[in-house]
Copies of this chain bind each other. A is one copy, B any other.
């Protein structure tokens, strides 16, 4: 297959630039052709030029109408994702879309329907599935050598809380942060979540209360295959990005610890010190961002299913909604209550 996949990038913010850089530098089978951003400015244009990209637009429409484009990366604001997916699908482009697809389930379903109707590929940006550590947990469970999963555990703590400006529109801890962990438990367990119970508190910054949000939470989960699980989240770990997963199965347990900045440890009469976990997602999941992009391009080239499908984009949103309702109503909530 000699032809390169021609890609248009929508949204040149932090995550859009990351994908753009990775596509140009580390995905030789792809060619980044054009970039669209409603806030197009000199910085973006210069960055594009440094990557050898000549076409810069304000309007994503220009990408959709370019018949030479094979696929788009949707990295714009969350509330535009569903619309862009529909437009891209109707234009026959394959789609990589950042998470979440939308906060509104009906809009997600609209988008998924458009994708299905057009027969294009869709991959959602749950990047942690491509991390070497979590992937090893999942592969071990999926291999079946440890037998059926019994207990699924995920710890996910951010190094520092986001600005309140961000919190205001983030959709809340469950939709914005724990949504990655909801995807992770589905990925690790190989099963669907059927019920959740959420505990959440404001322990770090009282301002979270203003936005009906929490900064610390634990959620218990039931899975269709009988397993049970738990996720704990904190908006501020302070010591780095705490990202650990564990699945205890009938025949044993597989677990991962954090990636550290280095393996050094220093022993003195005062004590033993070692390196902290890598700071945040750009450091920890750096290689995983590359891998998810490569996987997307490969799925197009080989005409195979993408490794994170539209349904994988939908389910964590449903779980996040169930978790929020559980917290609000102080009771366990079945996923079937949300799906209706």
- Interface residues in chain A, defined as those with a beta carbon under 8 Å from any beta carbon in chain B: 25-26, 28, 50, 132-133, 135-137, 140, 146, 148, 150-151, 153, 155, 157, 197, 199-201, 203-204, 216-218, 220, 222, 226-230, 232, 234, 237-240, 242, 248, 250-269, 271-277, 330-332
Contacts and interface: CB of A to CB of B under 8 A. Distances in A.
Contacts of A273: 271-274
A290 to B, nearest CB: 11
| Copies of the protein in its oligomer | 4
A228 to B, nearest CB: 5
Contact of A264 (B140, B264, B274): B140
27 contacts: A25-B25, A25-B26, A135-B262, A140-B264, A151-B218, A197-B199, A199-B220, A199-B228, A200-B228, A203-B226, A217-B228, A218-B229, A230-B232, A238-B269, A239-B271, A239-B272, A240-B267, A251-B269, A253-B266, A253-B268, A255-B265, A256-B263, A267-B277, A271-B273, A271-B274, A331-B331, A332-B332
A230 B230 contact: yes
Given A28-B50, A228-B216, A140 B266 contact: yes
Contacts of A257: 263
A197 B232 CA distance: 15
